[in-house]
Copies of this chain bind each other. A is one copy, B any other.
Amino acid sequence: MSLTLYGYWRSSASYRLRIALNLKGVAFEQKPVDLRTGAQRDPDFRTFQPQGFVPALVDETGALIQSPAILEWIDETWPDPAFLPGNARERARLRAYAAVIGCDIHPIQNLSVLQYIKAELDADQTAVQAWARHWITNGLTALETMAAQDDRGGPFLWGKAPTMADIYLVPQMYNARRFGVDMEALPRLVAADDAARAHPAFEAAAPENQPDAPEDGH
């Protein structure tokens, strides 16, 4: 199978897929889609991603879209190492971590929403930053509580090995830092994020290490 990831260096959802493929040891090619120039709205790209969002993962059979769906597909296609626990109840708990970030934080602080509040609701740069910080802080604070309830001794968010939870956490913490979220109240998440970022699969997936990242990393 020959995999091509259409993504963007700083896109959270692209970052998740890079981590996931690296964890499975699956090789992939990257085709950067430059969100700053609107390349995601190109009609050719939209034939396989009608929302005009990155990422898309393309192989000989066609395109897969939506990172939550693709992550499950990656885990089903290359089962080792597993992203989810073997027990249905624990899987549900772990998928709840993913959903807190994937549904209730990330889409609300995503580029298209920030552009709308600027253009349509006259939000200035301060209000835009406050918006992003608000939703990220709310979601991560809940996740910090969940991590305390589930305490598995670290170093990763769900114990000794990286899981689906870390795949979502690390890109969201990257955004949290970008928007100046106060990390003091999130010690468990900070520790798990630090541990994960030191892992080679996560390091190779980091935004600043991607071919389309600007030289200064910003």
A66 and B108 form a contact (CB under 8 A): no
A146 and B50 form a contact (CB under 8 A): yes
Whole-angstrom distance between the Cβ of A10 and the nearest chain B Cβ: 18
Contact of A99 among B66, B92, B117, B146 (CB under 8 A): B66
Q: Which chain B residues border A121 with CB–CB below 8 Å? A: 117, 121-123, 127, 131
How many copies of this chain?
2
Kindly name the residue among A88, A92, A106 whose own CB sees the greatest number of chain B CB atoms within 10 A: A92
Q: Which chain B residues border A73 with CB–CB below 8 Å? A: 88-89, 91-92, 95
A142 to B68, CA, bound (A): 17
A95 to B103, CA, bound (A): 14
A100 to B122, CA, bound (A): 27
Q: Which chain B residues border A107 with CB–CB below 8 Å? A: 103-104, 107-108
Contact of A139 among B51, B70, B100 (CB under 8 A): B51
* A44 within 8 Å of B (CB atoms): no
* A77 within 8 Å of B (CB atoms): yes
Contact of A66 among B67, B103, B116 (CB under 8 A): B103
Given contacts A103-B107, A127-B120, contact A50 B142 (CB under 8 A): yes
B51 and A72 form a contact (CB under 8 A): no
